[in-house]
Every structure is written in structure tokens, then in C-alpha cells.
Structure 1
Amino acid sequence: MDDGSGVGATLAERVGIDARALAAARIYVGLLLCVDLFLRARDLRAFYTDSGVLPRNVHAELYPTLSRVSLHTLSGELWWQTLLFVVAFVVALSLAVGYRTRLSTAVSWVLLASLQTRNYYVLNGGDKVLLVVLFIAVFLPLGRRWSLDARAGRSTFDGGDGQVVGFGTAALLTQVVLIYATNAVFKVRSDAWMAGDAVPRIFQVERFTIFLGPYLNEFTTLLVAINWLWMAMLVASPLLLLTRRWLRAGLVALYLGAHLAMRLTMDLGLFAEAMWAGLLVFLPPVVWDRVEAAVMPLETGLSDWLDDRPRLDEMLRPAGPVVPARFRRGVARALPVLTATILVVGLLWQAAAVGVVPTPENSPAEPKDHSWKLFAPNPPDGDGWYVATGELASGTEVGVYTHADTSFDRPADVGETYPNARWRKYLTDLRFGSDHRIEAFAAYLCRSGAETHGERITEVELTFVYEAIETGDRTRHDLGTYRCPGE
């Protein structure tokens, strides 16, 4: 590897990551975390406090282990959740600008993991991708370029400023490919995907389609072609690792474009945005040479601006390490072992998920239940909406579904009865959930209904109306009648 030839050089070129790619990914992930926090804040009370849909006592009954490891469960009050959101936002900004980069990365991961475990029911695939990428990034030199750490001469890495090669880079690149490859295995085993029917069916589900999606639904032949194109891209995903230079750049552009198309047609939460973060690090040096040439005037201008303001520059420069030197040396020695373990565990986990290797006995989780499926093996075959009727203390019957005025008649747009991707995720699985979960949601409707109508709600009747895509037949799923708290 040192002489730039042979197997080592070939391997390094494929599993190495340009330092500028890591810097770009760091900036992007930091800003993405800020956006995620801003969007989650819209439902801060509903999803993360004791007055919401998952009070801590219910969370502890459903997830006793997770409830003990989440910082967000230390208090069910709004002020505590707000404080943690503000801290996470500040740390994410610190990550974006590269201030004490490794520490900012680690703290961002801890806070993100804590937030996600506080309410597992609102998570989608994008959240899991972001958590995995951020975890592996803790072990990578994200502050080598385009950071305040680098300006201060305190890069969190050993070596020069070019290509970064190691088990950590291999783990990150491999994990991104595994997301596609594992999904390909599940889809190849699906009759709907192998018949070309999956994508046309998905676009008939109104709760997923946005922007251009409803218009694209009219072109069935095009959707069938997209079905096969996406299948081909999933199967061909290992080429992201095997190719190099401009061929790799072209493939990355193709996958980036595919996820942009998803963002313009379907509401899949943060999936597209999280995958962009993983794909950025695949871009080879030939791309970053041109990017750097383009941003050089901006970088130089910012550097000169800080030079003209020495006091501000001094404030922004990290004063020195916050971790003792002995500890840092120990971590540096352990880093290859840690990153190699991450790489191997990631490979074995996905291999177990698709059945290539057996799941270990006494495994705390089933790999196939926590793998990259995304509408696999079978896409949804129906749509649906909730109807919630409450009885006021005065005896009047009112609608208490907080997101739309629904009835047993089909809404004009089913998708509009789900205000965002997190509510859709929570509500889609609710009808299959435990009694504790449904009761907690009914209690939330009692409280929100009383606030809306200015009068106490005595009971709530909750129903889900399911509509089959092919036949249009509707089925009512009675989820029960619940007495409101205090009755």
C-alpha cells in the first residue's frame, strides 16, 4: 500500500475516502441534524413528553431497556425536552463547522440515539441510516479539512490531508452498500417486485405520495420501468465499491439522482437525505479537486476575514485537547480493533438478516426485523385513515382526530390526514400495536380534544378504515372505546 502499487493500492483506492469527502459529509450531517431537530420540534409535546402519545410509564412497559438508556426519559416535562433539543442543535452546529469535531460527533450520536429510543414508533429507515453513519463517523477524521479544528492545527487524525484509509472507511462504505444489497435480496424474493408491480402499487398509496407523486401515478408503464431500474440499481450497488475515478462518480450521481426523485415524489422521512450523506463519501478525489477549486475563493475569503479579526479567530479556535493525552493514545491504539469490529459485525448482521448465516442464540434482536427492507418483501396493498369520535361532558358527539376532519367516508386526499412522515409512521403501525399503545393514543386524543373544544371529553371511540388498492373494498377496524383519564 505504501509504494502505491499492487493489491494494497488497489484496495486503498476502493475503500479509502478523500478527506474533503469526509469534510463535506461532516458539514452536511451537522446541518441535517439541525433540520431534523427543527422538524421534530413541531411535535415536541406530542411525541416526547408525558402529555403526548407515549408517556414514560407506557414507554417503560413497552421498551423497558430503551427507557433506561435514553436521556430524554429523565423527565417527561416539555422544558427538559426543549433543553435537550437546544443542546443537540448547538452540538450539531459545532459538528458542521468542525469545532472539536470528534467530541461533537460523539455527543451528537449520543443525543440522536437517546432521542430515537425515546419514541421508537416515529422512526423510519432514514433515521436508522443517519444513526449508523454518525456512529461510524465517530471513528473517522471528519475534522481534517474545512474545519475550525484544521485551522487551529488540531485535526483529529494522524497523517496528511489526502486519502483516509482504514477499517473505519471500509466500514462506512460497506455499510452504505449493504443497505442497498440487503434490500435487493429482500426484493428479489418478492413476487410483486419481480413482477414489476411494486412501484405502481406504492404510488397508489396516497399517504406516501407528495409533490410529483400523484401526477406520476397516471403513467403505469413509466412506473413499471422505474421498478426495474431501481431493482437493477440495488443489485448493482456493489459496483460503488468496485469502481473508481469518474466511473464511480457517475454511479454516485445516479444513486443521488434516484434519491432526489424519491424526495420529489414520496414522503419517506429522512431516507433520501440520510442516503445522500452516505453517498457523499464515495465521491473520488477527481471530483473533490474540482469542488475545491470552486470553493477556494470562499475558503480564502473566510480565512482572510478571520485573520482580520484576531479576537474572534482566537475565540473560535479550540484552546487544546479536552481529553487527557494518555487516554487519546489508548484510543488511537484501539481504533483499528474497534473499527474492524464494526466492519465485521455490520457484515454478519446483514448476512444474518438475509439468512446467509444463522442468527446467534440469545440474540437481543432479530436481524431480519432490523434490516434495510423499504417496501420489501411486499409493498403495501391498501391505504387507510383514522376516525376518532369523542363525547363531550355535555353529551355532544364531536370528532377528535387531531389532524383532519375524518369520517367513514373516504377523504378527498388520504395523505392529508397524516400531517408528516413521523405521524404517518406512528399511526400506520398503531392498529397493530399493543393495548397500552392504543390506550395512550386515546388518552392523548382526550387531552387534545378537550383543548380544541374547550370542554372535557368523557370517552373516545377509535376506528381505522382500511381500503384495498385493487378492489376499493373498505374494512372497519374497531380499536375500542376508551374512557378518558379522570373518569
Structure 2
Amino acid sequence: METEPAPAPEPRTALRQGAGAPQRVPDRVRATLVALTERPVSLYAAAVLRIGYGLVYLAFLLREFPHRHEIWGPGSPWTPELARQLFDQTGWVSVLTLSDSRAYFESCYALAVGVSALFALGWRTRAVSVLFAVVVASFHGRAIFMTDGGDNLILLMAVYLVLTACGRRWSLDARRTRLRTCAGAGKRTPANRITDGLRHHLGTSRRTLTAVLHNCGMFVIAAQVCFLYGSAGLYKVQGSSWGNGTALHYVLNLDLFRPWPGLSLMADEHDVLIAIACYLTVLLQVAFPFVLFGRLKYPVLTALLGMHLGIAVLMGLPLFSGAMIIADAVFLPDRFYLALARMWRRTARRAGSGEPADAARPPRAPVPAQSEPPGVIAREWSVPSLRGGRRR
């Protein structure tokens, strides 16, 4: 028995049925491209990187101030002439070798201290970030044989931060922009279609370029940290001392990395804990790139923080540990830093008023009635200002 063929679907119906699934992927790709080209991500993490590396390098320069002539000065055993000969072979450049004058070196050192401080404060960050990268590269190349992993990481991060918009948050630039916006909110300029249209297109292009460069810079920083941990863990796996859990025992008995011998000997007495620390170090470093997209990254980052603090104390490598701890901050979301900022403001407010915690907490605002106009609801539930004021 033959049956009649089913009627063919209408063109519009077929189009709707067949276009749903294929359009999901392009929509996601389009949304991703829009997010990467129109909105800078992780602005608070970039600000933490800027503040952290600026302060670390400033502390490093101030710490080595009494020894600056022996390390980078014209009277150093590694003379400027030897440095220039090495630069001819490696292609490196340093502003410290442009002159052998002691006054010139002192000026460069003072400039480096000032640039590091301004970079941490976020003053004219676009220009100062370039100067900071030049300063770090110049001092790094002048005494290349006295650097370690911490110096190398700071140099890489200084170059990467030039691409980012690291001055958008927690900086003097952000404060100046906020004050300028508040001051110009009530001013009106006469309308001009040509000028306004050109200004609009230039502003859109500038924002797109800034967002793309910033997001690429943050991605490169995150990838650099992942490669660093992954390669370090895989390199440790190849060694027999890390496999049998005795690597840290040998490290704790090296005179070169024993700032407090008594503390090192006390830690070396616990054989089981030393072996556990060896295995845990390798596991954390190898697994680090694979836990970044889940909640497991928070305990991993906490364990890495403890590991770096132990390296700073037991091995006497505070610069390396500080550089690594700051680099790990790139993987924390902005909501984490905003929560820390709110906690800091709340603690500072309680400490300043001297009131107990319950008394210092402001009363919860009542829920506005649904019949009220939108303007009233918006005023009742406006976001608190950056200065920590109460809801208005």
C-alpha cells in the first residue's frame, strides 16, 4: 500500500529548523571576538601586576643602593667596556653603558628609582611603563652574570605590561580620570556633526586597539606563567632526586642557599615532610596549567604561595619568590580583588571609628516598592562609589 509523500516544508520553516544549530558556533565566536576587542579583561589583576612589580623593583634598587657601584657602576669588576663587548655579540642594549661618567650613572640610578615608584603609583602609565621596561632591561643587561630567575621574570613582565592597560584601576591615572569625568559631567559643548563623528570614530578605534593589546598582553602573561610552571615540573620529573624525595634535602644543605643555617637544619630533620614537599612541588607545577579553569585553582594557588614563601625564607631568594607570587595574581578574577577592596575599606572604617563590628555595619536599605518609578529604584540601589561611601 502506497502512502502519499509528506508535503515539503515551507522555505521559512526549513530555514528556521536548519539554521538553529549551525548558528550557535558563529554566535559564540562572534561574542568571543566582541569581548576580546571591546572590553579589556582582568583590569584589577593588571593593576596588581603593575603595583607588585613596581614595588618589588623599587625595593630591589633601594636594597642594593649601598652596593650599586660594585654591581652596575663604572667601577664594577664587570666594566662598561666588557659589557659593550658582550652586547656586540648578543645584541643587547643598556643605557648604563652610554657613558662611563659616575655622575651619569648616579642620574640613571635616581631615574630608575623614580620610574619604579611612578609605575607602582600609576602616574602617566602609558609612558612610564615604557620607561620602566627600559630601566629593567638596562640594569638586567649591565650585570647579566649576577641575575637569577626572578630578574628574568621581572624583565619579561615589564615588557608584557607595556601592552596592557594596567593603569585603569588603583592608580593616579584612574583617580584623575574620575575627577575629570565628575568635573565635566555638567558641561555641554555645542553640537558639530563632523567633529563629533570624527571624535567618535577615533575614540572607538582607540578603545578597540587598547582592548586588543591589553587582552593579548594578559594572555601572554598567563601563558608565560603556565609554561614556566609546566617546564619546571617536567624538568624535575627527569631527575632521580625529585623522584625519591631527596631533592629538598640537598637544597637545604647548600651553603650558597642557607641564609639561616639553623632554620635549614631544623627543617631538614623531618624526612617524611621533606619527601612529601618534593612530591607535592612536582605535582603542583605539572598540574598547574590544567586546573586554571575550575575552582581547584584556588587551593593550588594557595599551595604555591606557601611554596614561594618557603623559598624566600629558607633559600634566601625573596626577589624570585616575590616575582612568582605577583605573577600568580594574573589568574585571580576581578571579583576577588573587589571583595578584598571592600574588606579592606570595611576594616579601615572599623579601625578608624573604634566601633565593634556589629555597630560599624550600616543598616540594610529597605527594598523599594515595585510601584515606584525606575529613577527612584535606581537611586536606592546605586553602586557604592570607589571611595567606599554608603549607598545613596
Q: TM-score, normalised by structure 2?
A: 0.67
Distance 1:197 1:63, change over 3 A: farther
1:235 aligns with 2:286: yes
Shift of 1:222: 1.8
Distance 1:295 1:250, change over 3 A: same
Shift of 1:77: 3.7
User: How does 1:7-406 map onto structure 2 within 5 Å?
Assistant: 17-65=41-89, 69-153=93-177, 158=207, 166-211=215-260, 212-243=263-294, 246-268=295-317, 270-296=319-345
Post-superposition CA distance 1:229-276 (Å, at most 9, x none): 101111111035332xx5433322221221111112112351101011
SS at match of 2:233: helix
> Hey, what's the Cα distance between the residues in 2 that align with 1:10 and 1:197?
47
Q: Which residue of 1 aligns with 2:194?
A: none
Shift of 1:58: 2.5
Contact 1:23 1:142 in 2 (8 A): yes
Contact 1:67 1:118 in 2 (8 A): no
> Hey, what's the Cα distance between the residues in 2 that align with 1:45 and 1:148?
33
Post-superposition CA distance 1:195-222 (Å, at most 9, x none): 2221111111021023433321222322
SS at match of 1:114: helix
Contact 1:256 1:276 in 2 (8 A): yes
Shift of 1:10: 8.9
Shift of 1:298: 9.5
Which is helix-richer, 1 or 2? 2
Contact 1:28 1:96 in 2 (8 A): yes
* Aligned-partner residue type, residue 231 of structure 1: V
Contact 1:48 1:118 in 2 (8 A): yes
Contact 1:55 1:76 in 2 (8 A): no
Distance 1:193 1:247, change over 3 A: closer
Shift of 1:296: 4.2
Shift of 1:176: 0.8
Contact 2:46 2:218 in 1 (8 A): no
User: How does 1:447-466 map onto structure 2 within 5 Å?
Assistant: none
SS at match of 1:236: helix
Contact 1:124 1:268 in 2 (8 A): no
SS at match of 1:270: helix
* Aligned-partner residue type, residue 47 of structure 2: A
Shift of 1:286: 3.4
> Hey, what's the Cα distance between the residues in 2 that align with 1:95 and 1:165?
17
SS at match of 1:64: helix
> Hey, what's the Cα distance between the residues in 2 that align with 1:194 and 1:9?
46
Contact 2:69 2:75 in 1 (8 A): yes
Shift of 1:73: 0.8
> Hey, what's the Cα distance between the residues in 2 that align with 1:240 and 1:103?
36
> Hey, what's the Cα distance between the residues in 2 that align with 1:173 and 1:197?
31
Shift of 1:7: 7.2
* Structure 1 portions without partners, runs of 5+: 301-487
Which is strand-richer, 1 or 2? 1
> Hey, what's the Cα distance between the residues in 2 that align with 1:6 and 1:195?
47
> Hey, what's the Cα distance between the residues in 2 that align with 1:62 and 1:166?
35
* Aligned-partner residue type, residue 80 of structure 1: Y
Amino-acid identity (%): 27
Contact 1:94 1:104 in 2 (8 A): yes
Distance 1:7 1:299, change over 3 A: farther
Contact 1:144 1:150 in 2 (8 A): yes
> Hey, what's the Cα distance between the residues in 2 that align with 1:68 and 1:127?
16
SS at match of 2:207: coil
Contact 1:95 1:105 in 2 (8 A): yes
SS at match of 2:258: coil
SS at match of 1:281: helix
Distance 1:251 1:286, change over 3 A: farther
Distance 1:218 1:42, change over 3 A: farther
Q: Which segment is superposed worse, 101-110 or 71-80?
A: 71-80
* Aligned-partner residue type, residue 84 of structure 1: C
> Hey, what's the Cα distance between the residues in 2 that align with 1:288 and 1:116?
31
Contact 2:165 2:214 in 1 (8 A): no
Q: TM-score, normalised by structure 1?
A: 0.54
Distance 1:125 1:203, change over 3 A: same
Count of matched residue positions in the alignment of Structure 1 and Structure 2? 292
Shift of 1:67: 8.0
Q: CA RMSD in A?
A: 3.3
User: How does 1:412-431 map onto structure 2 within 5 Å?
Assistant: none
Post-superposition CA distance 1:417-437 (Å, at most 9, x none): xxxxxxxxxxxxxxxxxxxxx
> Hey, what's the Cα distance between the residues in 1 that align with 2:214 and 2:135?
28
Distance 1:250 1:224, change over 3 A: closer
Post-superposition CA distance 1:352-374 (Å, at most 9, x none): xxxxxxxxxxxxxxxxxxxxxxx
> Hey, what's the Cα distance between the residues in 1 that align with 2:175 and 2:168?
9
> Hey, what's the Cα distance between the residues in 2 that align with 1:129 and 1:205?
24
